[in-house]
Amino acid sequence: MPGPAVKLLGWARPYQRRLLAGDISAGVIVAMMMVPQAMAYAVVAGLPPVAGLYASILPPLLYAIFGTSMTQSVGPMAIISLMTASSLAPLAVPGSALYGVLAAQLALMSGAVLLLCGLARVGFLANFFSRPVMSGFTLGSALLIAWAQVATLFGADAPSALTLVRGIKLHPASATLGVAAVLALIWARRSLARLLQRAGLPAGAASIGARLAPMLVVAAGSLAVAAGAARGVPTIGAVPAGLPSLNLATAASYWSQLVQPSLLIGFMIFLISMSSAQALAQTGARGPDDGAVAKPAANMELVGLGVANLGSALSGGLPVTGSMSRGAVNHAAGANTPLASIISALLLAAALVAPTGYLSFVPMPVLAATIIVAVLGMLELDTLRTAMRYDRSDALALLGTAGGVLAAGVEAGVVIGVLLSMGTLIWRASRPHIAVLGRIAGSEHFRDVERYPGGTHPSLLILRVDAFLFFGNVDAVVARIDEELAARPQLRHLVLVLSAVNAIDTSALFGLADINRQLLVRGVTLHLAEVKGPVLDRLKQSDLLRQLSGQVFLSTANAWDALTACP
Amino acid sequence: MPGPAVKLLGWARPYQRRLLAGDISAGVIVAMMMVPQAMAYAVVAGLPPVAGLYASILPPLLYAIFGTSMTQSVGPMAIISLMTASSLAPLAVPGSALYGVLAAQLALMSGAVLLLCGLARVGFLANFFSRPVMSGFTLGSALLIAWAQVATLFGADAPSALTLVRGIKLHPASATLGVAAVLALIWARRSLARLLQRAGLPAGAASIGARLAPMLVVAAGSLAVAAGAARGVPTIGAVPAGLPSLNLATAASYWSQLVQPSLLIGFMIFLISMSSAQALAQTGARGPDDGAVAKPAANMELVGLGVANLGSALSGGLPVTGSMSRGAVNHAAGANTPLASIISALLLAAALVAPTGYLSFVPMPVLAATIIVAVLGMLELDTLRTAMRYDRSDALALLGTAGGVLAAGVEAGVVIGVLLSMGTLIWRASRPHIAVLGRIAGSEHFRDVERYPGGTHPSLLILRVDAFLFFGNVDAVVARIDEELAARPQLRHLVLVLSAVNAIDTSALFGLADINRQLLVRGVTLHLAEVKGPVLDRLKQSDLLRQLSGQVFLSTANAWDALTACP
């Protein structure tokens, strides 16, 4: 099988100068947004904040070359960081050198998984999560992440938020700073854009300005610490200046223990990035030469994300993915092409090369506040609301996945999500649409007798199955045939019209052979009609056509004529 | 939700005397087959042989009351015993008292899982395994089981067959007995039925006689040991006489560790029993009042198996299921109703009440031989052969599942099997059949323009989707619309004909809303036609109809008339 047609830097060839202004402004703004976010998500992953900055330079550069989305912003992301933390927790102490090595190794292995999946063209794996399940997964993960930051927000000693519940022992200055930051961020989210607009900014600029609130809050908190106004508040401490050294340190004895986490993390990196890229494509973000509704090509996206994660591993980072929130800002700030990401990566690199002393004042409670407000902002209850009204089974799948993440952890949540997506699918697929056809008087046409009055014949039953036949619905076809036969004692011929059957899997093939055999016992012959070319070609490779008690007719009319001619 | 309509003893009310002879003869023959098999599968599970006999009394009695299949034979079964052994291996030493308690506890929990699934009516879970995947799972498990018995067959000391490979240290008398038993059993399988027929037996009786070969071989081996002709050969040792005492010993600290195994074992008990019951139903085995092609009702089968496993737990047994091989013998020996199973259970009980000293001579190598020949007989290569010719992706799923069981163990194999079944399903479902419709001249009828010449209109496109719409195929619908739109610059109206759409899930609902929004941007209005009643009722609960740029038409003809009337 050939690999996907990766069009490297496909956007750069036809680049036009008129796109440049937008790309530069978006690059600058995303870089400003990235600094606190990358550090915060490194903290979520249990890593020193600088690891997040490292993971925000090489990965977006590589994604700009190999990726598919024009305005995607690749870097650390809350849910992937949570999965990283939960995968590494049993293996090493957060903050230790081994932990850092394992985080990079996890990025390496996740990247390899993504790259291999892309080359094997299994992008259809994105369809293993339904939208409600994805929404439930995000809900559960966001609550887990927020909850884990509560202790830091209040300056509590213990790493777990549970301490707060048991006996509140908080650090007053930290708690004041943390709560103030949360309130400021919530206010900014709600009102800042409107305020800026009232102050004369155009709507777009006002909305972007409001998205920079986390950076301003972090800056204000750092100033308070630097000025000595918040004594004893824990800060992120010294951030080493300089670019990350490129090397691939791995811990040899941990490969096998990282296999399962890297499969789960690779899968979620892909799902999160795909849904972010699709949402961006739907907002109308397009490449310079692309007029259609841009759909990210799943297999190419896998390759782009794989290479980006290999880059993160190489620069001492952590698993990365496309982030919906940064992508939306990137797009709103005017990004036209991945050049915007290149600019923001170069700006971050420049910030690391310049003196980084000022970063050491960033107070942990304020970083916790940005995490809490950011992940709670990821919650979208629209899917739940819609599903509650529209389809209870989807709403249950959503809540089941969220509950699974909360109760059993984020890794088990992925498995639960897949099972719930598949469960709702199998349940629906097991009830295919099957129509009894009747002949429209004076014509060659046959239609559903429930919808159009059509002629039928007592010794002939014509059934059309409107679904591809597979292991999950072949029993339903058998049951329907049983039912129809019970009501038709005079029946001699059954014709299955396969005009809407795109495929028959091996299980359904055996099912048809069983039907043929059982009908024979009861004196009814089985015929097929309107079998599609590719389906018929496959059937010829099997024994079914040879064993078939009846014939294969080109058209339903042929079957009718042949089978009603003789008594 | 109401539970399934369990028709207790549904077969007993209309029982007719003419059925009795068949039931008695089948009961006797299955009992004779059961003795060596039940002991052997207890050994596979790591239990003393008598546990297998205990699990062959109460479970079939309870299944006769609660189950669905007329000729199913419930008791210990090779694959379920393998799963029991692999679940308990990390928790206790095989042969210890704790191990026995945990086996019963596992039966209890698996039974509870099955019972709850039955009451919750989630019998559709049987559709999580495709036929090729089931075949691959059986293949891998059979090889694992056979391999684990090789050491015992040769009388090697170590429990693992690997010892044989490293340095062959076998016990000559055991190896002789074991190999002789294997050869005798293979010969019986191949030639005994023919020989008996030539000796004057009718075909049916000859085939049943051949199936009793394991019992004869075990008896012959026991005689050899009792006569002192096979010194030093390990035997199963003293089998305590008397019925099992009914009590529910459980180990309190192991509940949580048995949750995952009991879910996996419960799932496989259900799958194995369902496929056995279906195969029996297809051979024409039916209840006394049942003329139709008897399909076991999945939810009732879950209840029957659940209660049977609770019974096994109560009598110190192990997880049980319906066995294809015993069921086939039961049916062939003339069983008409579950009375046959009741008779065979009572005979086994009688055998335990009588002196059991003779059982102590059964040589382990001979028991190993019966296991090896039995599980290799479970292999059916027909599915693999068919899939290889017919559908490579199904053949890959089969081999992938078998390889997964061999490489990662039987429990991981269940998960791999589910993922491969779902993978092939998602892959096929992501390519639904979509037809462009044209109007048949002078009629109200619209047909696929690829199949019938029909009238079209440059500003109107009519698409019919022949599949229910869900998260796995809505992207394909979007892609097809994009493609058709690119070829039709004059398009103003798109009509989606939903006559074959039985359901639209929440993901597809959001997908339709996206399509509606994107078409609007491009100046095309979206209409729906022939929406089924239940689907339309649901859509009315959502925002889609309110947001729809176009209309909902009762028929495609209405849509055509309305949309082609004005320029």
Judged by CB atoms closer than 8 Å, whether chains meet at B132 and A507 is answered as yes
Neighbours of B25 (CB within 10 A): 17
d(CA B116, CA B1): 13
Residues 276-305 of A with CB under 8 A from B: 282, 284, 292-293, 295
Residue B250, in any domain of the structure: no
* Residue A156 region by backbone torsions, left for phi larger than 0, else alpha for psi between -120 and 50, else beta: beta
Tell me which of A482, A507, A509, A558 to substitute to probe the interface with B (most B C-beta atoms closer than 10 Å): A507
CATH no. for residue B536?
3.30.750.24
**Do A267 and A395 lie in a common domain?**
yes
Nearest one of A556, A558, A557, A531 to A542, comparing CA atoms: A531
Residue A12, in any domain of the structure: no
Entry field: residues in chain A: 567
Would the pLDDT of B275 be above 70? Answer: yes
Pairing of strands A552-553, A525-529: parallel
* B chain contacts of residue A441, beta-carbon cutoff 8 Å: none
pLDDT of residue B456: 87
Nearest one of A444, A471, A451 to A561, comparing CA atoms: A444
The pair of structure tokens assigned to B36 is: 């060596």
pLDDT of residue B283: 63
Nearest one of A21, A50, A39, A2 to A315, comparing CA atoms: A50
Q: Which helix (H) or strand (E) holds A527?
A: strand A525-529
Judged by CB atoms closer than 8 Å, whether chains meet at A440 and B440 is answered as no
Judged by CB atoms closer than 8 Å, whether chains meet at A422 and B422 is answered as yes
d(CA B330, CA B336): 9
pLDDT of residue A407: 94
Residue B251, in any domain of the structure: no
Residue A8, in any domain of the structure: no
pLDDT of residue A207: 82
Q: Which helix (H) or strand (E) holds A464?
A: strand A460-465
Tell me B361's DSSP state. Answer: G
* B chain contacts of residue A443, beta-carbon cutoff 8 Å: 443, 445
* A chain contacts of residue B425, beta-carbon cutoff 8 Å: 425-426, 429, 470-472
pLDDT of residue A272: 92
**Do B233 and B307 lie in a common domain?**
yes
pLDDT band at B287 (very low <50, low <70, confident <90, very high): very low
Judged by CB atoms closer than 8 Å, whether chains meet at A391 and B506 is answered as yes
d(CA B465, CA B448): 11
**Do A232 and A320 lie in a common domain?**
yes
Residues 471-510 of A with CB under 8 A from B: 471-472, 475, 478-479, 482, 486, 499-503, 505-507, 509-510
Residues 391-420 of B with CB under 8 A from A: 391, 394-395, 415, 418-419
Last residue of a domain, one of B425, B451, B482: B425
Residues 37-96 of A with CB under 8 A from B: none
pLDDT of residue A41: 94
Nearest one of B289, B380, B277 to B328, comparing CA atoms: B277
Residue A6, in any domain of the structure: no
What would you report as the CA-atom Rg of chain A, rounded to the nearest whole angstrom? Answer: 29
**Do B437 and B406 lie in a common domain?**
no
d(CA A552, CA A405): 51
What residues have CB less than 8 Å from B383, skipping those under 6 apart? A506, A510, B131, B132, B135, B398
The pair of structure tokens assigned to B91 is: 């928790």
The model's pTM: 0.84
Strands (E), B36-137: 74-75
Residues 365-384 of B with CB under 8 A from A: 383
Cα distances from B383 to residues A456, B135, B418, in angstroms, run 37, 7, 18
Neighbours of B353 (CB within 10 A): 11
**Do B439 and B305 lie in a common domain?**
no
**Do A398 and A484 lie in a common domain?**
no
- Closest chain B CA to residue A428: B503
Give residue for tokens 């796995």.
B472
The DSSP-derived string for B398-426 is HHHHHHHHHHH-HHHHHHHHHHHHHHHHH
Question: Any bridge partners for residue B435, and if so which?
Answer: B464
d(CA A430, CA A432): 6
pLDDT of residue B7: 60
Cα distances from A237 to residues A48, A70, A90, A233, A360, in angstroms, run 9, 36, 26, 11, 4
The pair of structure tokens assigned to A341 is: 């990401």
Closest-CA distance of chain B to residue A164, Å: 28
d(CA B499, CA B504): 12
Of B383, B431, B478, the CB nearest to A506: B383
* A chain contacts of residue B472, beta-carbon cutoff 8 Å: 127, 425
pLDDT of residue A33: 87
Nearest one of B317, B265, B338, B266 to B49, comparing CA atoms: B317
Size of interface A-B (CB pairs under 8 A): 202
Pairing of strands B433-439, B460-466: antiparallel
**Do A419 and A464 lie in a common domain?**
no
**Do A165 and A242 lie in a common domain?**
yes
pLDDT band at B3 (very low <50, low <70, confident <90, very high): very low
Within 13 Å and on the Cβ side, how many CA atoms surround B467? 25
What residues have CB less than 8 Å from B183, skipping those under 6 apart? none
Nearest one of B239, B329, B331, B276 to B53, comparing CA atoms: B239
For helices B506-521 and A255-282, give the axis angle rounded to 10 degrees: 40
Q: A290: burial class by Cβ within 10 Å (0-12, 13-18, 19+)?
A: middle
**Do B208 and B304 lie in a common domain?**
yes
Residue B464, in any domain of the structure: yes
For helices B382-390 and B392-408, give the axis angle rounded to 10 degrees: 130
Last residue of a domain, one of A386, A408, A425: A425
Of B293, B472, B518, the CB nearest to A425: B472
The pair of structure tokens assigned to B365 is: 């190598």
Tell me A18's DSSP state. Answer: G
Instruction: State which amino acid sits at residue B135.
Output: S
Of B127, B448, B510, the CB nearest to A471: B127
**Do B295 and B403 lie in a common domain?**
yes
At residue A511's C-alpha, the angle toward residues B69 and A491, to 5°, is 90
Q: A198: burial class by Cβ within 10 Å (0-12, 13-18, 19+)?
A: exposed
Residue A3, in any domain of the structure: no
d(CA B469, CA B471): 7
Nearest one of A474, A436, A430 to A452, comparing CA atoms: A436
d(CA A455, CA A447): 10
d(CA B60, CA B320): 9
Q: Which helix (H) or strand (E) holds A533?
A: helix A533-539
Helical residues (DSSP H) of A120-229, grouped into ranges: 131-153, 162-166, 172-187, 193-198, 203-211, 213-226
Closest-CA distance of chain A to residue B454, Å: 13
* A chain contacts of residue B432, beta-carbon cutoff 8 Å: 468, 502
Residue B78, in any domain of the structure: yes
Judged by a CB distance cut-off of 8 A, whether residue A519 touches chain B is no
Assign B498 to helix, strand or coil: coil
Judged by CB atoms closer than 8 Å, whether chains meet at B471 and A426 is answered as no
Last residue of a domain, one of B409, B425, B441: B425
**Do A235 and A153 lie in a common domain?**
yes
Residues 320-359 of A with CB under 8 A from B: none
What would you report as the CA-atom Rg of chain B, rounded to the nearest whole angstrom? Answer: 29
Give residue for tokens 């379920």.
B80
Closest-CA distance of chain B to residue A136, Å: 13
Assign A448 to helix, strand or coil: strand
Count the domains in chain B: 2
d(CA B298, CA B67): 10
pLDDT tens track for A29-45: 899 888 989 999 999 99
Give residue for tokens 């579950």.
B338
Would the pLDDT of B498 be above 60? Answer: yes
Domain hosting residue A127, numbered range: 17-425
Mean pLDDT in order along chain A per 10 residues (567 residues)? 54 81 88 90 94 95 90 93 95 93 96 93 85 93 90 73 60 90 92 89 83 89 87 85 83 90 94 85 49 60 94 95 87 88 94 86 91 87 91 93 94 90 87 89 82 84 91 90 89 93 91 92 93 89 93 92 81
- What's the per-residue H, E or C state across B313-338? HHCCCCCCEECHHHHHHHHHCCCCCC
d(CA B455, CA A489): 41
Judged by CB atoms closer than 8 Å, whether chains meet at A445 and B440 is answered as yes
* A chain contacts of residue B295, beta-carbon cutoff 8 Å: 475, 478-479, 482
Entry field: residues in chain B: 567
pLDDT of residue A166: 59
Pairing of strands A525-529, A493-497: parallel
pLDDT tens track for B153-188: 888 765 555 555 555 677 888 889 999 999 999 999
* A chain contacts of residue B447, beta-carbon cutoff 8 Å: 445
Contacts 24+ apart (CB under 8 A), A94-100: A94/A46, A94/A47, A95/A46, A95/A47, A95/A48, A98/A251, A99/A46, A99/A47, A100/A47, A100/A48, A100/A51, A100/A316
Nearest one of B438, B460, B436 to B525, comparing CA atoms: B460
| C-alpha B415: how far from chain center | 14
Buried-state track B540-559, b at ≥16 Cβ within 10 A, e below 16: eebebeeebebbbbebbbbb
The pair of structure tokens assigned to B8 is: 């207790």
pLDDT of residue A3: 40
The answer to whether ipTM exceeds 0.90 is: no
Asked whether the beta carbons of B218 and B178 are under 8 A apart, the reply is no
pLDDT of residue B509: 94
- Closest chain B CA to residue A502: B433
Judged by CB atoms closer than 8 Å, whether chains meet at A295 and B479 is answered as yes
pLDDT band at B112 (very low <50, low <70, confident <90, very high): very high
The pair of structure tokens assigned to A386 is: 């819609």
Average pLDDT, chain A: 87
**Do A408 and A446 lie in a common domain?**
no
Instruction: State which amino acid sits at residue A180.
Output: A
Buried-state track B376-414, b at ≥16 Cβ within 10 A, e below 16: bebeeeebbebbbebbebbbbbbbbbbebbbeebbbebb
Helical residues (DSSP H) of A409-440, grouped into ranges: 410-429
- Closest chain B CA to residue A474: B127
Judged by CB atoms closer than 8 Å, whether chains meet at B499 and A428 is answered as no
